[in-house]
Every structure is written in C-alpha cells, then in structure tokens.
Amino acid sequence: MMMGNLERDVASSVALLDRLPAANVAERMQILAAVSHDLQTPITRMRLRTDLMDDGPERGKLQRDLLEMETLVREGVSFARTLHNAVEEDCKVDLDALLASVAADYADAGKPVTLSGECGTPILTKPRALRRVLCNLIDNALKFAGQADIELRRKPDGGFEIAVLDRGPGIPATELEAVFQPFYRIETSRNRDTGGTGLGLAIARQLAQALGATLSLATREGGGLEANLGMRKAG
C-alpha cells in the first residue's frame, strides 16, 4: 500500500511537470526540487526508524520497501530532469567514437555488449542526451537478456539507425508502445523483482524526441527485442 501511494504521487508530480511549458525551465526545476525534498524527508524518517527496530523478517521487509521507494523517487526525478538534456546545444559529434566509447565502458565493467557498423562522418546532435538514451536501452537489454548488440545502420535518406538488440523474453506486440508510458510495467516479465521502476524507456523516448529522433521497439524473429533509434541525416 505504501509503495502504491508513493508511485501515484511521483506519477502525478511528473505529469504536472510535463504540462508546464517546455521553455519555462526555472519553474519546472523549482517544482522538481520541492517534490524531491517532500518525498525524501519522510523516507529518511522511516529509514531511521527501521534502523532502531530489532532484527527480524519485518525489519528486512521494510528496508527493502524503503530501498524500492528511494529508487522510485530517484528515477522520477531523473525523468523530470531530462528537460536539461532537451535544452542541451547541438554540436558536431563523431558518432563512431561515441558508440565505441559506450561499448568500451560496458566492456570495462565486464558486460557483454558488442558493436557493429559505422557512420564515417560527424553528425549534429546532443551528445549527453544521446549517450543517456543508448545507456538506458543497453541497460534494459542487459537486465532482461544478459547481453546486448549495438548495430549502426545507414538509412536511404542519409540518416542513421542505432539498433540495440537482445534475445531476452521480449515484449508482447500489444504493449510495444505502452511501455514508453511512465511507470508502465509488463506483469509477466518486467516487474519489481527485476529492480525496474518503469521509467527507463519513458526517459529514453523523451530524450529521443529532444534529439529530433524516433525511438521504437520491435519483436525480433527468433525471440528477443530490437530497440531502434532513428537519427536524422548526418551533417
């Protein structure tokens, strides 16, 4: 019950932020700061109280609930803060180098992430936002499939597609668009047992729109999921 109420509070706060004009960054961030403070304070009080409890099953359950609540608040704040990435200035970026850097970071952490394809020319984009989108998609693949493959493909119009592929349980065709909604979860495969809050794909979609890109999901033949980020023409 506690978790459900907090989730509804965060969802309502995020919806309020999204209704404000995108140009009014200061007002949105003031609301964000207030929401973050208001939610963190009672969570901190509850954590202090659980620390004073005797060891036992109930204490462990409460501590797990609090950890989940803290994660939810943190992800809710992260979702709202994607506005900062939306106002990031475009600049010329070596897409091949950026993708290689992302893949290398995962390799250094012992994560099985492969990269294929190349762009061969600089593109105009928001590098921090692009990296965040890619990391969200890769993290999703690693969480549910244990590995991720990145493919860079050239489109006929001169643009590029960055596909993140996995062989995990996939997503039912009827829910491929719904999973981009904040806090949406698929009961059969994407639930709290995996540690997710239902915000990773929502954040990725919002940032993709800020990039002038498209983000879609498709079921792979043979099983698994393809997350496809359609980038505008290089320039």
The pLDDT-based confidence of 7 (bands split at 50, 70, 90) is low
pLDDT higher than 90, residue 109: yes
Dist. CA 186–CA 145, nearest whole Å:
15
Mean pLDDT of the chain: 80
Q: Are strands 214-219 and 225-231 parallel, antiparallel or unpaired?
A: antiparallel
pLDDT per residue over 111-163, tens digit each? 999 999 999 889 999 998 899 899 999 999 999 999 999 999 998 888 899 99
Closest by CA position to 225, among listed 185, 186, 158, 176: 176
Say if CB 46 and CB 62 are below 8 A apart: yes
Q: Which domains does the chain have, with CATH numbers?
A: 2-86 (1.20.58), 91-231 (3.30.565.10)
pLDDT per residue over 204-223, tens digit each? 898 898 889 999 999 999 99
Q: Which two tokens stand for residue 2?
A: 């506690």
pLDDT per residue over 76-89, tens digit each? 666 666 555 456 78
pTM of the model: 0.70
Closest by CA position to 184, among listed 198, 204, 205: 198
Say if CB 202 and CB 79 are below 8 A apart: yes
Dist. CA 64–CA 158, nearest whole Å:
49
Residue 72's pLDDT is 67
